Amino acid sequence: MKRKLILENGAVFHGEGIGSERETVGEVVFNTGMTGYQEILSDPSYCDQLVTLTYPLIGNYGINRDDFETMHPSAGGLIIKEAASHPSNFRSIGTLSEWLKEKDIPGLCGIDTRRLTKMIRTAGTLRGRLCTEEVDEEEAVRELQQWIDSRDQVSRVSTKNAYHAPGNGKRVVLMDYGAKHGITRNLLSRGCDVFVLPYNATAKEVLALNPDGVMLSNGPGDPEDVPEAVKTLRSLVGEVPVFGICLGHQLLSLACGATSSKLKFGHRGGNHPVKQVKTGRVDITSQNHGYTVDRDSLMGTDLVLTHVNVNDGTVEGVEHREYPAFSVQYHPEACPGPSDANDLFDQFVRLMNRYEKVPTRI
């Protein structure tokens, strides 16, 4: 079925529909990874976004049972050059198009994704509408320009109920702002006893679990839209070791007095070089974010810049001067992407060991 993508700048891309036939509007973003479409589409950080993948052939290894980052994908849509119709992989249980249909995610294929990506790089992230050929383009552009982005993504993707993933090591509370499974997987593989709490859990609720550390997850949207999380973190910093990833990093930074802003077109892909300020070590990292902590705003806070992006100098990591709290903008859990930075989870465990609290548990 013919479908098209209308952008707020008036550009129109005509292609073929795949997946759900539902219409959708969202921010169009691009990811430059060559693989990992299953993890990307199931990562809650992409909630509502129309994701275009710059790699031209997508779906060639199908969909498997192991690589979901959440079981309830919330990505707004997928935009690609070519959808493989005959996937081949020993783990494959179906095609990408079937899965998109099953999860009600609309897609568009057969468009020039390089042209679209260049457009976003020049204009900045654009809103788009994925719809049928009949839709009036001028009217759609007017509507897109007046579109008000929703600001409740974190509350939509976060768990509604607390749950427990048992282990016999350090007790970690994972704040679920839209967490990828990869974070829990990494904590469990280090023996951690993980309690996952909803995004709006209070500091009192967190501390009642008597944790050795608190992990702040990734998640969708603008960090300024989650003031309740910032308030909780203000009370937690200094009480218990904290490690934040991506949205978790941004929220920790806001809680410590820094500010954030939106990047022109974000960082999404598997080859973003990040330099550790102290040692000069460069990790190739997995990234997926549209906002950044303002580097200048760190001055006057108790946060120290620990990591910078080699491409554009933006903040990639901070640590607290006084308290056991650190965070990174990128994804040490990878999935998709390289795992150069996976040792940050070990660093978190070491931090919890160092700050061993007086045992109150029996």
Ligand X SMILES: NC(=O)CC[C@H](N)C(=O)O
Known binding residues for L-glutamine:
45, 219, 221, 247, 250, 288, 290-291
Closest to ligand X by CB, 140 vs 215, is 215
CB atoms within 10 A of CB 121: 12
Torsion (CA) 263, 41, 184, 217 in degrees, nearest 10: 20
Least separation in angstroms between residue 134's CB and ligand X is 33
Q: Which of 61, 291, 326, 345 is the binder for ligand X (CB under 6 A)? A: 291
Q: 19 vs 337, which CB is nearer to ligand X?
A: 337
Q: Which is nearer to ligand X, 220 or 269 (CB)?
A: 220
Region of 59-67, 75-83, 119-127, 285-293 interacting with ligand X (CB under 6 A):
285-293
Residue 90: CB minimum distance to ligand X, A: 30
DSSP-derived pairing of the beta strands 193-198 and 163-165: antiparallel
How would DSSP label each residue in 107-128? Answer: EEESS-HHHHHHHHHHH-SEEE
Residue closest to ligand X when measured from CB atoms: 246
Distance of CA 172 to the CA centre of its chain: 20
- Which of 218/301 has CB closer to ligand X? 218
Per-residue b or e along 27-63, where b marks 16 or more CB atoms closer than 10 Å to that residue's CB? bbbbbebbebbbbbbbbbbbbbbbbbbbbeebbbbbb
Closest C-alpha among 249, 287, 282 to residue 266: 287
Instruction: Give min distance, CB of 222 to ligand X, in A.
Output: 7
Of the candidate residues 19, 62, 220, 324, the single one contacting ligand X (CB under 6 A): 220
Binding-site size, ligand X (CB under 6 A): 11
Nearest-angstrom CA–CA distance, 262 and 283 = 23
Give catalytic status of residue 331 as yes or no: yes
Q: Strand (E) positions, 148-300?
A: 163-165, 171-176, 193-198, 213-216, 242-245, 260-276, 282-293
Q: Which of 106, 221, 336, 337 binds ligand X (CB under 6 A)?
A: 221
Nearer to ligand X, 128 or 221 (CB): 221
Residue of 246, 256, 267, 289 marked catalytic: 246
Q: Footprint of ligand X on residues 226-265 (CB under 6 A)?
A: 246-247
Instruction: Give catalytic status of residue 246 as yes or no.
Output: yes
Report 32-51 residues binding ligand X (CB under 6 A): 45
- Between CA 66 and CA 330 the distance in angstroms is 22
> Which of 27, 39, 319, 333 is an active site residue?
333
Query: Is residue 330 at the binding interface for ligand X, with CB under 6 A as the rule?
Result: no
Which of 218, 232, 286, 327 is close enough to bind ligand X by CB under 6 A? 218
Least Å from the CB of residue 177 to ligand X: 7
Window 40-99: residues binding ligand X (CB under 6 A): 45
Name the binding residues: 45, 219, 221, 247, 250, 288, 290-291
Structure tokens at 295: 């580097």
CB of 97 to ligand X, least distance (A): 26
**Site membership for ligand X, residue 332 (CB under 6 A):** no
Minimal distance in Å, beta carbon 132 to ligand X?
Answer: 29
- H-helix segments, the chain: 37-41, 96-102, 113-123, 137-146, 153-157, 181-189, 203-208, 227-236, 247-255, 343-354
- C-alpha 235/C-alpha 244 separation (Å) is 15
Beta strand 126-132 pairing with 325-328: unpaired
73, 93, 229 from 101: Cα distances, Å: 12, 15, 34
- Between helices 227-236 and 247-255, what is the axis angle to 10°? 70
Site string for ligand X, 152-171 (x = CB under 6 A): --------------------
Binding flag, residue 194, ligand X (CB under 6 A): no
289 binds ligand X (CB under 6 A): yes
Catalytic residue positions?
A: 246, 331, 333
- The residues binding ligand X (CB under 6 A) are 45, 218-221, 246-247, 288-291
